[in-house]
Structure 1
Amino acid sequence: MILEARDLRKHFRIGGGLFAERGTVKAVDGVSLAVEAGETFAIVGESGCGKSTLARLLMRLIEPTEGTVRFDGVEVTGQGTDLAALRRDVQFIFQDPFSSLNPRLTVGRLVGEPLEVHAPELPARERRAKVAALLEKVGLRPEHGDRYPHEFSGGQRQRIGIARALASGPRVVIGDEPVSALDVSVQAQVINLLDDLRRDLGLTLILIAHDLAVIRHMSDRVAVMYLGRIVEQAATTDLFAWPRHPYTRVLLDAVPDLDAPGGAKRSHVEGEMPSPSAPPSGCPFHPRCPHARDRCSTDVPVLEEAEGHAVACHFWREIEDAPRAASVRTRGPAAEARLALWRRAAGGARVVPAQETNEEERP
């Protein structure tokens, strides 16, 4: 395993003002996972479930309250960790390509900064050549290095962010909703670009996404988070064909079935996700679960693994014993039409360079 987390927790203290009581937000509450080298590992869940906090903990952008993170077998959460080496080997692609790039620096400076930090011995001429090569690798032109971020479209800015993440030669790249701020046609190009880079450079991708079609298209394994905990984890094909946790089923069924009359949904869950500052006792999903029983409100379910499929539910075996192939919401004529749109937008299996796309380029 190239990246592992064991019983990872991040609790934030809040309140304490004149009229406010102090409290604790349990953003990540006991997460354990292991990512294999070369795979694409996806983390999915509702907004506020702790996905982005978990990603920042894995890269040690924030310090954990408890638990450990190991990179390539070495713990990186203890004192004396070589953070410079960790930053070189694990890089981050941010969600918003508009705010993640310094508007005062040229693209060449933005992409070249990691080289200045991690390879200061590199002569300026070689550094400029490597920046130009990185821009070409992500579908931009070398002369784009002389421009500023505001001169590019959203998809091109995200390509710049990807080039910047690749500059240090990382082994793991974490993408925090890397395509959610982009148009659908541009999403296709960036998705295929990331997939090609993973294959060509031997990268390990950790992908955070809300779009289940993106997850199914790109990932090898999926972890489903709810209220700071992982409630289900499995290979992508297995999870989409047979979701075993009630929350995963609700999440998949929340996607309208465009192939059914009226885009019908097959299930409904009441209420919203509780606040992480006041989580319910027992199973965190039990206040909304249609299958909840008395035990669910008192006992926290452990993540139980069976044949490579891990589920944190007391009664998942009793809820349903047969696969629900019909639950695969990313299949069917409508879904195939969307994938066809993606393929056309991305030029088939090939990633179309930015200058060949219909993205508007400013002079």
Structure 2
Amino acid sequence: MSDDVILAADNVTKHFGSGGRWLSKAPVVQAVDGVSLRIKRGETFAIVGESGCGKSTLARLLMRLLAPTSGSVQFEGREISAAKGEKLKALRRDVQFIFQDPFSSLNPRMTVGQLVGEPIEVHAPALGKQARQAKVADLLRSVGLRAEHSDRYPHEFSGGQRQRIGIARALAAGPKLIIGDEPVSALDVSVQAQVINLLGDLSRDLGLTLVIIAHDLGVIRHMSDRVAVMYLGRIVELGETKDVYANPRHPYTQALLASIPSMDGPGVDHEATVLGEMPSPSDPPPGCRFHTRCPFVQDRCRSETPVLRTSGDGDHQIACHFWDSLPAAPVPTHKTNRSQAAQARFALHRAASEGGTVTHKTQN
């Protein structure tokens, strides 16, 4: 593995309900199915997709909170998929996790000082009490809190402040990589930007590598270097964030981007490029897993699984048989209204059902 790669996953799979006599008749949930990726040292890497696509499960696999059904995960070249004991403890020092809910992830019976000081006590037991308290105070100040907050309990803080406490706790062990599982989705919109800016500042100042899980592409647009789009347990598009936003090639990515709310107006209705509901991960469709919702589906999509292929534009990769022949995504404008979006949706549905050629038209 290259020196600039800090975390790597090779064909990682995680299936639930596939073992034990009590689960022998339960359907197997294919939460993650054959994911491979490389995360570079010092970058902010985002994993996005709808709820239920497997991104949170993948995050837990990358940190060894879950063991994969198959495949391997390496941190700094060391296999961690089966890490136990001292090896797992050392991994916990280098890789930390920020959970989605800043309230349930903090022990309500512990003060903030105890919560933030616990990782220091575990990973640096030789550090004296006064030195540990001083470090806790420094960590609280680094996330925008005050040192005197260490004597309070989590319920005495707002949601944004609790998430800052969670970030301080994640930083306490001196990690090299932090994984945030929807770190701002439980917060008010007015607070989300503050926490996002905080993570960006800490990453730059401390040289951290960040992996951010999100279902909203608008959240990670300005904070990530690269983005992987997941659908039903698999990565369907991967590349530099600026390239994916400027030129999304997979129909699913186009739908996600079209669904981002715009301050300029209603934009393009995302239903113009995606149909129906996501299938169950316990019974994924054959071939391309997106074919049941794709307006551009063809016979090959229903039987043959597409693999990630480089588009020739940098490291931009797409898992679609026909990505290079599909029309570019329509450009949302504030002049596009609902009736125009409805007309586009009807044309896409009809062309898909008849197997005809679909042509996008941008309204001016």
- State the TM-score, normalized to the length of structure 2: 0.85
Structure 2 partner of 1:107: 112
SS in 2 for 1:319: coil
**What is the letter of the counterpart of residue 161 of structure 2?**
Q
**What is the letter of the counterpart of residue 228 of structure 2?**
A
Question: For 1:231-265, what per-residue CA distance to the aligned partner results, in whole angstroms no more than 9, with x for missing partners?
Answer: 000100100010001111111112344424x5542
Detail structure 1 runs of 4+ shifted over 3 Å in the superposition. Answer: 14-21, 78-81
Structure 1 partner of 2:94: 89
* Alpha-carbon distance, 1:75 to partner: 1.3
Within 2, Cα distance between the matches of 1:244 and 1:263?
Answer: 19
Structure 2 partner of 1:221: 226
- 2:60 pairs with 1:56: yes
Structure 2 partner of 1:65: 69
- 2:295 pairs with 1:287: no
Show structure 2 runs of 5+ residues with no match.
336-364
Aligned residues of 2:13 and 2:34 also touching (Cα < 8 A): yes
Q: CA separation of 1:183/1:19 partners in 2, compared to 1, >3 Å: closer, same or farther?
A: closer
Aligned partner (choices 177, 181, 188) of residue 186 of structure 2:
181
Relative CO higher for 1 or 2, CA cutoff 8 Å, sep ≥ 6?
Answer: 1
Q: CA separation of 1:8/1:15 partners in 2, compared to 1, >3 Å: closer, same or farther?
A: closer
Q: CA separation of 1:268/1:304 partners in 2, compared to 1, >3 Å: closer, same or farther?
A: closer
Question: For 1:173-193, what per-residue CA distance to the aligned partner results, in whole angstroms no more than 9, with x for missing partners?
Answer: 000011111111211111110
Show structure 1 runs of 5+ residues with no match.
333-363
Structure 2 partner of 1:313: 320
Aligned residues of 1:256 and 1:264 also touching (Cα < 8 A): no
* Alpha-carbon distance, 1:268 to partner: 4.1
Q: CA separation of 1:281/1:325 partners in 2, compared to 1, >3 Å: closer, same or farther?
A: closer
Question: For 1:36-86, what per-residue CA distance to the aligned partner results, in whole angstroms no more than 9, with x for missing partners?
Answer: 011100000000000000000000001100011111111111456710111
Structure 2 partner of 1:29: 33
SS in 2 for 1:9: strand
Aligned partner (choices 3, 7, 10) of residue 6 of structure 1:
10
What is the RMSD computed on CA atoms of the aligned residues?
2.2
Aligned partner (choices 157, 167, 179) of residue 162 of structure 2:
157
User: What does residue range 172-321 of structure 1 map to in structure 2 within 5 Å?
Assistant: 172-260=177-265, 262-265=266-269, 267-306=272-311, 307-320=314-327
SS in 2 for 1:143: helix
Aligned residues of 1:256 and 1:265 also touching (Cα < 8 A): no
**What is the letter of the counterpart of residue 167 of structure 1?**
A
SS in 1 for 2:222: helix
Structure 1 partner of 2:48: 44
Within 2, Cα distance between the matches of 1:84 and 1:14?
Answer: 28
**Pairs aligned (count):** 327
Within 2, Cα distance between the matches of 1:131 and 1:79?
Answer: 29
Greater shift in the superposed pair: 116-125 or 266-275: 266-275
* Alpha-carbon distance, 1:197 to partner: 0.1
SS in 2 for 1:104: coil
Within 2, Cα distance between the matches of 1:270 and 1:92?
Answer: 34
Q: CA separation of 1:86/1:16 partners in 2, compared to 1, >3 Å: closer, same or farther?
A: closer
SS in 1 for 2:17: strand
**What is the letter of the counterpart of residue 112 of structure 1?**
G
Within 2, Cα distance between the matches of 1:269 and 1:142?
Answer: 50
Aligned residues of 1:15 and 1:23 also touching (Cα < 8 A): no
Q: CA separation of 1:137/1:23 partners in 2, compared to 1, >3 Å: closer, same or farther?
A: same
Within 2, Cα distance between the matches of 1:108 and 1:121?
Answer: 18
Structure 2 partner of 1:120: 125
- State the TM-score, normalized to the length of structure 1: 0.86
Q: CA separation of 1:209/1:202 partners in 2, compared to 1, >3 Å: closer, same or farther?
A: same
**What is the letter of the counterpart of residue 253 of structure 2?**
T
Aligned residues of 1:222 and 1:234 also touching (Cα < 8 A): yes
Aligned residues of 1:15 and 1:22 also touching (Cα < 8 A): no
Structure 2 partner of 1:358: none
Alignment identity in percent?
Answer: 66
